[in-house]
Structure 1
Amino acid sequence: MNDLSPFAVSHVRPLDPAKFRDPLVTARGEARAEVAMTGLATLWINTGTLCNLACRTCYIESSPRNDALVYISLAEAEAYLDEALALGTREIGFTGGEPFMNPDMIAMLGAALERGFEVLMLTNAMRPMQRFEADLLDLQQAHGERLTMRVSLDHYSQPIHEAERGPGTWDKAIAGARWLSDQGFRLAIAGRQLPGEDEAQARDGYAALFEQAGLKVDAGLVVFPEMDATADVPEITTACWDILGKSPDSIMCASSRMVVKRKGGARPVVAACTLIPYDPQFTMGDTLAEASRPVRLNHPHCARFCVLGGASCSA
């Protein structure tokens, strides 16, 4: 599970094959935009791509069989947590796959909280999470004010949610979210806005669901727009910042990075962002210090999700 599942897989390329080929210039020969790092506010740790679900449009293609990103270990994660602590990082986000498939997940969660980080935990709230209810309650009692559990619901209606995640997934996800709510966890929901549905409609639909299901969503609702990965998108040039009235500092990769461990790799590496874990041009280095260099926006997701979509994965 990942709460960006409304977005298409990162292997999908733009319709125009001339675009997003050169990291320095666009297809029209204009200087490609880049984003300099302003500081590491959020460090994401990908716990592995294995998941109990195989969602229809999962951007990272998580499934019960996809181990393209293998489980990161507690020791590997702790090395990055210590480096992040020294850099003044505020937030650690855990994502997958379904993070609770990783056997070291509870230990990694505890390690992040014990170091004083705010932690954003992404989950589908189904059986993998429910196996660890006692451990989660212990962490909530000790560090609850800094732990946010973000549960993905692909829509506020059961049919659309299950069209994405599979039959029988709705009741299990709602039950897991209700347990978190009833136990006093800081609960957030990641939802989806369908084509033809404006954000206000989506939020009203989710609000009605929360009331009906008895969910106290005190850490907020994040609504991601539906995005068509087959649609052509413009390349982002250095001139776009002024044209769009945007600052590169507002883009996700200005303040976040994600640690991944690719299958066959000797050790984890740091990727530019959560959306592009496989593309080697977005591998920034082995350490967080190495990964602080600027990111050239040479991928459709850079335009589709971040610059034009205005979205971010963090809290």
Structure 2
Amino acid sequence: MKDLSATAPAKFTDPDLTAKGEPRARVALSNPQTLWFNTGTLCNIECANCYIASSPSNDALLYITEAEVRDYLAQIRERRWPIEEIGFTGGEPFMNPEMIPISEAALAEGYQVLILTNAMRPMMRPKVQEGLLRLNSSYPGKLTMRISVDHWSETNHDKERGNGSFARTLEGMDWLRDAGLSMAVAGRTVWGESERDARLGYARLFAERGYAIDASDPAQTVLFPEMDESIDVPEITIACWGILGKSPAQVMCASSRMVVRRRGSAQAAVLACTLLPYAPEFELGTTLAEAERPVSLNHPHCAKFCVLGGASCSG
């Protein structure tokens, strides 16, 4: 008998159809709430499982500039997007020498600003600390640091980020606490414990350190599944929405886009998703107008992380 599997289409190859020939799910930008900027892939550390492969030497995504950020803020106004939040991710955002003026540009427009950081040495430089104190004073209640704390225990956190990283991150969080800056935390769900046990562990840590972070609130303590592309996941068809009891409006690309500056590119580009910075099929153009088109859920991360895992980078 002929082996048909050898000639069967591979998963996640056709933007319109699944490997079984079923119509692939698509997500419209129905309610843009967050515009993300990748500030650059350079980072002060190299994690064991960084989805974007950030490191002290990876500059595949260049530092975004204040001028570029201001241009996209102007485009938000022109397109009348109902954006509430501007998010900054990396790499480590505070490696970017323009991070303070970039943040201020967004804050001055009235947006909530969320900065994803490891709270280590780049954030702890005196000029950065001075800038954060000034911004927090000038725009009270508008600025939040989301700290990467992969696990509530030092042992597991350091497995991911290197020996001593947990202590250095807590040092930065202590400074943010004492300075009165708002904090949230991002962790991982890869440690073989239930979500309940994970949140209890974070709650103990926050109580011990006096951090005003609610471990039970998914917006303040975000727990992300591992993004392992080697794991076989189902493709998401149009029929899946009804089967799963979910709406396309609940998926991250219905409410957000991300701006990046690729090495070798003449200008910044807008991506459908924060999780797929290197996938060319998720690059939507250079303007927000171009980025308004629907997104085909044509990647394993779309299924495992967003639709089935229900994760979101925004609060």
CA distance in 2, matches of 1:196, 1:128: 32
Tell which deviates more after alignment, 85-94 or 234-243: 85-94
Q: Percent identity?
A: 59
The correspondence for 1:99, drawn from 93, 100, 109, is: 93
Alignment partner for residue 196 of structure 2, among 191, 195, 200?
200
1:230 deviates by: 2.0
Helix, strand or coil at the partner of 1:187: strand
> Distance in 2 between the 1:236 and 1:87 partners?
27
Structure 1 stretches of at least 4 aligned residues deviating more than 6 Å after TM superposition: none
Aligned ranges for residues 281-292 of structure 1 at < 5 Å? 281-292=281-292
| One-letter amino acid of the counterpart of residue 266, structure 2 | A
Any unmatched runs of 5+ in structure 2?
1-7
Where 1:83 maps in the other structure, the secondary structure is helix
Aligned to 1:81, which of 73, 79, 95?
Answer: 73
1:181, 1:292 → 2: CA distance? 38
Residue type of the alignment partner of 1:206: Y
Would you say the 8 A contact 1:155–1:191 is kept in 2?
yes
Given that 1:20 and 1:299 are in contact with CA atoms closer than 8 Å, whether structure 2 keeps it comes out as: yes
Q: Secondary structure of 2:141's partner?
A: helix
- Aligned with 2:169: secondary structure? helix
Q: Which amino acid in structure 1 is aligned with residue 208 of structure 2?
A: Q
Equivalent position SS for 1:18: coil
1:162 to 132, 146, 158: 158
Which residue matches 1:271?
A: 271
Deviation track 1:21-73 (CA, whole Å, cap 9, x = no partner) reads 11111111111110011132100000000000100000000000000101111
Query: Any residues of structure 2 matched to 1:18-33 within 5 Å, and which?
Result: 18-33=10-25
**Amino acid across the alignment from 1:74:** E
Q: 1:185 aligns with which of 181, 186, 189?
A: 181
Where 1:253 maps in the other structure, the secondary structure is: helix
Q: Quick one: distance in 2 between partners of 1:60 and 1:227?
A: 10
C-alpha separation in 2, matches of 1:58 and 1:275: 11
User: Which residue is 2:245 aligned to?
Assistant: 245
Within the candidate set 132, 138, 141, 1:136 is matched to 132
Q: Deviations over 1:228-263 (max 9, x none)?
A: 432100001111111111100110000100000111
Corresponding position of 1:110:
104
Paired residue type of 1:79: D
On the 8 A contact 1:269/1:284 being kept in 2, the answer is yes
Letter in 2 for 1:37: L
SS of residue in 1 equivalent to 2:198: helix
Q: Distance in 1 between matches of 2:299 and 2:225?
A: 19
Q: Give the letter for the 1:129 counterpart.
A: M
Paired amino acid for 1:239 = A
Q: 1:83 Cα shift? A: 1.4
Q: How big is the shift at 1:194?
A: 2.9
Q: Does residue 216 of the first structure (1) align with residue 212 of the second (2)? A: yes
Which residue of the partner structure matches residue 39 of structure 2?
47
Query: 1:285 Cα deviation (Å)?
Result: 1.1
8 Å CA contact 1:123, 1:152 repeated in 2: yes
SS at 1:144's partner residue? Answer: coil
Q: Distance in 2 between matches of 1:138 and 1:26?
A: 51
> Pairwise CA RMSD of aligned residues?
1.4
Task: Name the count of aligned residue pairs.
Answer: 300
CA contact (8 A) 2:227 2:301 kept: no
Q: Name the TM-score, length of structure 1 as normaliser.
A: 0.92
> Once the 2 structures are TM-superposed, how far is the Cα of residue 211 of structure 1 from its aligned partner?
1.6
Q: Which amino acid aligns with 1:121?
A: I
Q: Which has the larger radius of gyration?
A: 2
Hey, what's the Cα distance between the residues in 1 that align with 2:259 and 2:245? 31
